[in-house]
Amino acid sequence: MELSRTALYKSAFGGCDLPPEPDAGGGSIRQAVKDILPLVNKPIRYTGGEYNILIKEPEDDTLFFALIMPDVYEIGMSNYGLKILYSVLNQNNKIIAERAFAPWPDFGAQLKAKGLPLYSLDSKRPLKNFNILGFSLQSELSYTNVCYILDLAQIPLLSQDRTETDPLVIAGGPCCVNPLPVNRFIDAFVIGDGEEVVLEIVSAFRNWNRKNRSDLLQSLSKIKGVYVPFLHPSNPTIKKRSVATLDERNFPYPPIVPICEITHDRLTIEIARGCTRGCRFCQAGILNRPLRIRSKEEIIRLAERGIRSSGWEEISLLSLSPLDYPHLTELVSALQQNLEKRMVAISLPSMRGEKFSPELAQQLSYIKKSGLTFAPETMSPRLRAMVNKDITEATIIDAVKSAKSFGFSGVKLYFMIGLPGETEAEVAAIADFVETIAQITKNGLVRFNLAPFMPKPHTPLQWFGFESVETIKQKIALIRQRLHRKNLKPKWDNPEACMIQAVLARGDERLNDVILKVY
Ligand code: SF4
């Protein structure tokens, strides 16, 4: 697959120059932004010009599509879905897709003070001059940032106030399975895999006569997997869209290499999408069904291409449950042989410990020692059975011992607190277990995270309530009191923020007013 494009701008590694001024509506902004940059923290967030970005010359019939993450650059640029859509859209010569992120308040205040509209990072085109703005809603806590971005972009916040000259505002991502809390801000929601639907939305926009906005919404509502609040009743049944297979089309190429440190700063290859485990609290497991697996041969080929075109020193094999990948040991072994000379590390996201074999530990240990992560969630057999997570203490201990014998020193563990009916003894068991792990790793750091159980829509546990903030704080305190070893490093999610997120996750249309008021 080779991207066809009219122009490609590649900045040098570590460079921070703005890209060449395009003839795309970004010229005047470019100079104004240069004046603002010395006045703000981390100006690199606003320059663009990363290695492998695409700057295309627009033609008369070019459609402009802004991909927007309502979060700061470092987090937004770590999102894999954004990169897939950037690649899928830009493969079409008649579409220019560019990126935008939520600026930090210092930069936002400068834009406001100077009356400048928020712009795309790639060509500095004002967002209000795009045809379509596509928000990726990854966390309910970013809802107010949608308002913030629309406001900075000088676009009406509410769908009902937008006219034929305003961009179409759509949204996708996991939060869209309950779009009601933000359905007055967004014109249309995509439910399911965005890359499966996005070109149909572009077609509907192209076929629109630009006279009556409701005609456009009408044609969008006919696309399978699209929810249009203006036309659909408040509780419609929308069938999600899913890509049938993982192939080259959903591999972001060429990979954009950021010029500052981001949260996930490495080449990511999605080895599988979906998970068949059926943990009852897990929204991602439900939303990403069915399981789709990328072939081992293709992963090896893409890894080679991705590393060659990016220079990254680490590959992350992305999947909800990577140890369930059918040929993981062979895959890691083949990757290790191919990439050994380049000293490229291989890392895996959170894993279920029972499939972490000594062979896999050996393969991973050959190159750089990436950290290992496990998500036992709870140490109570009763709660484990309730949430359908059948991992045992013994399997995690064996996995950690195995990893340690091959030179892995650090471990990261994820737990939930506040599961329905959880007792004090079950909370204390978490502390006792991490003490045991810390004893095994000796000086190796054991980091662990405590996240309050959050009932999410479309999961079997969605009808349970969220534990009170006070009780969650007491449970965190109980665990901390029982910790003794110096190599333990606990972290916990902010209980108040989690409570707000839980409300937004399962709330209805009435939250639109709340979000607007809070913003
Ligand atoms: S928690 Fe992990 S293993 Fe369980 S369903 Fe979700 S992704 Fe799968």
Query: Which atom from ligand 1 is nearest to the alpha carbon of 286?
Result: 5
367 Cβ neighbours under 8 A, 6+ residues apart: 336, 339, 340, 343, 344, 345, 346
Compute, in angstroms, the gap from residue 38 CA to the centroid of ligand 1. 45
Compute, in angstroms, the gap from residue 278 CA to the centroid of ligand 1. 6
Q: Is 277 in the pocket of ligand 1 (CB under 6 A)?
A: yes
Question: In the prediction, which pLDDT does 352 show?
Answer: 63
What is the average pLDDT across 6-21?
36
Compute, in angstroms, the gap from residue 264 CA to the centroid of ligand 1. 20
User: Which of these ranges, 83-97, 98-112, 327-341, has the smallest mean pLDDT?
Assistant: 327-341
Residue 368 — pLDDT band, cuts 50, 70, 90? low
Query: Which atom from ligand 1 is nearest to the alpha carbon of 377?
Result: 1
Q: Is 335 in the pocket of ligand 1 (CB under 6 A)?
A: no
Q: Determine the 3-state secondary structure of 61 from DSSP.
A: coil
Q: Determine the 3-state secondary structure of 106 from DSSP.
A: helix
User: Which protein residue's CA is at the shortest distance from atom 4 of ligand 1?
Assistant: 279
Residue 20 — pLDDT band, cuts 50, 70, 90? very low
Q: Is 155 in the pocket of ligand 1 (CB under 6 A)?
A: no
Cα angle 267, 273, 279 (rounded to 5 degrees) comes to 120
Residue 16 — pLDDT band, cuts 50, 70, 90? very low
Compute, in angstroms, the gap from residue 281 CA to the centroid of ligand 1. 9
Residues of the chain with CATH 3.30.750.210: 266-370
Alpha carbon distances (Å) from 343 to 265, 283, 309 = 16, 36, 16
CA distance 323 to 271: 11
Token representation of residue 171: 């949204």
CA atoms within 13 Å, Cβ hemisphere of 423: 7
Count of CB atoms within 10 A of residue 237's CB?
A: 7
Q: What CATH number should be reported for the domain whose range is 266-370?
A: 3.30.750.210
Q: Is 49 in the pocket of ligand 1 (CB under 6 A)?
A: no
User: Which of these ranges, 77-86, 369-378, 380-389, 491-500, has the smallest mean pLDDT?
Assistant: 369-378
Query: Which atom from ligand 1 is nearest to the alpha carbon of 282?
Result: 6
Query: Which atom from ligand 1 is nearest to the alpha carbon of 324?
Result: 3
Compute, in angstroms, the gap from residue 458 CA to the centroid of ligand 1. 14
Question: In the prediction, which pLDDT does 353 show?
Answer: 63
For domain 371-519, the CATH class is alpha beta
Pocket mutation for ligand 1, best pick of 282, 292, 324, 350 (most atoms within 8 Å of C-beta): 282
Question: In the prediction, which pLDDT does 17 show?
Answer: 42
Q: What is the pLDDT of residues 316-360, one digit of tens each?
A: 999 998 888 998 889 988 998 888 788 888 887 766 666 777 777
Q: Which CATH superfamily is domain 27-227 in?
A: Cobalamin-binding domain (3.40.50.280)
Alpha carbon distances (Å) from 384 to 212, 375, 380 = 54, 12, 6
Per the CB < 8 A criterion, the answer to whether 328 and 337 are in contact is no
Name the average pLDDT for the chain: 90
Residues of the chain with CATH 3.30.750.200: 371-519
Residue 11 — pLDDT band, cuts 50, 70, 90? very low
CA atoms within 13 Å, Cβ hemisphere of 7: 14
Instruction: Render the burial of 240-269: b for 16+ CB within 10 Å, e for the rest.
Output: bbbbeebeeebbbbbbbbbbbebebbbbbb
Per the CB < 8 A criterion, the answer to whether 96 and 86 are in contact is no
Per the CB < 8 A criterion, the answer to whether 331 and 364 are in contact is no
Q: Is 274 in the pocket of ligand 1 (CB under 6 A)?
A: no
Question: In the prediction, which pLDDT does 358 show?
Answer: 75
DSSP string, 350-403: SB-GGG--HHHHHHHHTSS---EEEEEE-S-HHHHHHHT----HHHHHHHHHHH
Compute, in angstroms, the gap from residue 286 CA to the centroid of ligand 1. 9
Question: In the prediction, which pLDDT does 232 show?
Answer: 81
Compute, in angstroms, the gap from residue 319 CA to the centroid of ligand 1. 10
Q: For residue 298, report the phi and psi dihedrals to the nearest 5 degrees.
A: -70, -40
Predicted complex: ipTM over 0.90 = yes
Residues of the chain with CATH 3.40.50.280: 27-227
SS3 content of the chain, % helix, strand, coil (to 5): 40, 15, 45
Q: Is 275 in the pocket of ligand 1 (CB under 6 A)?
A: yes
Pocket mutation for ligand 1, best pick of 281, 321, 325, 374 (most atoms within 8 Å of C-beta): 321
Q: Is 285 in the pocket of ligand 1 (CB under 6 A)?
A: yes
Compute, in angstroms, the gap from residue 449 CA to the centroid of ligand 1. 17
Pocket mutation for ligand 1, best pick of 279, 374, 386 (most atoms within 8 Å of C-beta): 279
Q: Is 320 in the pocket of ligand 1 (CB under 6 A)?
A: yes
Per the CB < 8 A criterion, the answer to whether 256 and 305 are in contact is no
Compute, in angstroms, the gap from residue 196 CA to the centroid of ligand 1. 23
Per the CB < 8 A criterion, the answer to whether 89 and 95 are in contact is yes
Compute, in angstroms, the gap from residue 76 CA to the centroid of ligand 1. 23
